[in-house]
């Protein structure tokens, strides 16, 4: 598990599993500079997350 404080006016402790945290990171972020394509492909496969594309993100924001 990983956790931290969240909220502004009434902060609360928030927790999530490491797997959930990594899955969210894969979905919302690009492959880190120090990670090889093989490592990234394996991480995507393990998490089952499909990284969001720039076009999908732009569509969400409009």
* Structural domain contains residue 57: yes
Q: pLDDT tens digit string along 34-62?
A: 999 999 999 999 999 999 998 998 999 98
Q: Please check whether residue 1 lies inside any domain of the structure.
A: no
In a domain, 2, yes or no: no
Q: Is 54 part of a structural domain of the chain?
A: yes
Give the domain extent around 46. Answer: 17-61
Number of domains composing the chain: 1
How high is the pLDDT of residue 8? 87
pTM of full prediction above 0.75: no
Beta bridge partners of residue 3, listed in sequence order: 15
């Amino acid at each position: 598990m990983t956790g931290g404080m969240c909220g502004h006016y009434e902060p609360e402790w928030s927790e999530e599993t490491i797997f959930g945290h990594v899955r969210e990171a894969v979905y919302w972020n690009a492959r880190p500079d120090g990670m090889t394509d093989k490592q990234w492909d394996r991480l995507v496969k393990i998490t089952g997350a499909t990284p969001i594309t720039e076009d999908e993100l732009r569509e969400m924001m409009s």
